[in-house]
Amino acid sequence: MASRDRKNSIKALFGGDILPATNEPAAEIRSIPAANEPAGGPTRASSGAVKAMGLTLSSITREAEEARVLRQALQEGERIVSLDTDKIDASFVNDRLSDEERDDPDFLVLVESMRESGQQVPILVRPAPKDGADEGRERYQVAYGHRRLRAARRLGQPVKAIIKTLSDDELVLAQGKENAERRNLSFIERALFAHTLVGRGFERKLVCDALAVQKSELSRLLQVAEAVPSRFVRDIGPAPKAGRERWMALGALFQNGNGVEIEKAEDETSGERFRNAPSDERFQMLFDRLMRRTAKTAPESEALTRPDGGVFARIERKGKAVRIAFTPDVDSAFIDALTARMKDDYAAFLAAGNGAKTGKS
C-alpha cells in the first residue's frame, strides 16, 4: 500500500482532519507514488527517508491500530490536548534503562521527526495523585509516551496528550501494552520492570498481563533481577543483544563467586572506557572481567559420573573447604538418603577413634 493511501485510510477512520498516527520513531512522512503513477506526480522519497519510515507490514498494522484507538478515545469523549511538559511527571514505575541517544539512537530520529512534522501520536496521561504539596496545582502522570515527552522537552514545545483517569493497575497495564506494541523492552528492562512491580505489591498475574508473559518466564525475570545488583544493571543499561541466558550467567557469577565480585564490578564500571562504551559492550566488559578473575581463583573440581558417563555431581575443593554440588536432575530423595547416611558414617568414623585426624580430641 502506498504511503498516500495509508494516510488517507487512517484519516477516513476519524471522519475529519485528525492527526494520523504513525510509528513513534518514524521520520517525516511523504507520499510515495505507486509504480504505475505517471511522471509529474508526487516526488519519490529518498532511500534514507524510506528506511526511516520503516514501511513494513507490521508498521502499517500498528498505524491502523493506533488510529483505531484514537478514534475510540474520541468517541468516548476523550480529547487530545496540549500540555506544558513541566506539568507532567514520569510513571511511578521506570521501565527504561536507556540514556536517551547514548543507548537509544532512535531517540534522535524521533526528535527530528517531531521537529519537522510535529507530534503525530499523543501520549496517555492521568491526573497525578495529589499530596499536600500539590494542592491547587494541576499535574499529570504518564502512562505511556515517555520518549515522546522527552523529545518534546528537548524541543521546548508542549506535548499532545489524552487525559484519562486510571487506577495504578490500569496505568501499569497501559504502560506494558504500549511497550510491547511499540519498542520492545530488552530482557533486563523487562526484568527490572517486573521486579519493581512485584516489590510494590502488584499481583503477579497483573505483572504477567502487563508484560505478556507466562508465570514461568516471570520467575526467570525475577530471578535475574534479584541475582544481579541493580546498580550494576543500571551501569550496563538495556543491553538489547544480551538475552536471558547471558544475564542469567552474569547473575550466577555474582551468586556463586568467592565474595569479591562486587569489588571487581565496582572497579570495572567506574572506568572511563566502560562509561563511554555502548550498552552491549558494557555488558560484555563486566562479564569478561568477572569470568577472567573467577577462572584464576576457581576451586579444584572432581566430577562424579553415572554408569552412562553423565555427570550427576561435582566435588569442589578450595583450601580446606569441600563442596558437593548435584546437578538439577538428581532426585531429591537420593540427596536426603545420602545426607542421612553421611551423618551415620561420620559418627562411626569418630567412634572408631579417628577424631584426632579431624583436629579434635
- DSSP line for 118-187: ---S-EEEEEPP--GGGTT---EEEEE-HHHHHHHHHHT--EEEEE----HHHHHHHHHHHHHHSSPPPH
Q: What amino acid occupies position 200?
A: R
- The tens-digit pLDDT sequence of the chain (361 residues) is 444 554 454 444 444 443 433 334 433 333 333 333 444 444 444 444 444 454 444 445 545 555 555 565 555 556 788 999 999 888 877 766 665 555 566 778 888 888 988 888 888 888 887 664 555 568 898 888 888 888 899 899 999 998 888 888 888 888 777 665 555 678 898 888 888 888 888 889 988 888 888 999 999 999 999 999 988 998 998 888 898 899 999 998 888 766 688 888 999 999 889 988 988 999 999 999 988 755 555 556 788 888 887 888 888 877 678 888 888 888 889 988 888 888 888 888 888 877 654 444 4
User: In the structure grid, which three cell numbers stand for residue 30, read together?
Assistant: 511523504
The whole-angstrom separation of Cα 153 and Cα 85 is 6
User: In the structure grid, which three cell numbers stand for residue 149, read together?
Assistant: 515527552
Q: Which pLDDT value is given to residue 93? A: 74
Q: Which pLDDT value is given to residue 228? A: 92
Question: Which sequence spans correspond to the domains of the chain?
Answer: 217-298, 301-354
Task: Choose among 275, 283, 325: nearest CA to 302.
Answer: 325
Q: Which pLDDT value is given to residue 75? A: 55
The whole-angstrom separation of Cα 125 and Cα 184 is 20
Q: Which pLDDT value is given to residue 77? A: 52
Q: Which pLDDT value is given to residue 168? A: 86
Q: Which pLDDT value is given to residue 255? A: 83
Q: Which pLDDT value is given to residue 51? A: 44
Q: Which pLDDT value is given to residue 288? A: 92
The whole-angstrom separation of Cα 326 and Cα 358 is 25
Q: Which pLDDT value is given to residue 46? A: 47
Q: Which pLDDT value is given to residue 311? A: 86
Strands 123-127 and 140-144: antiparallel
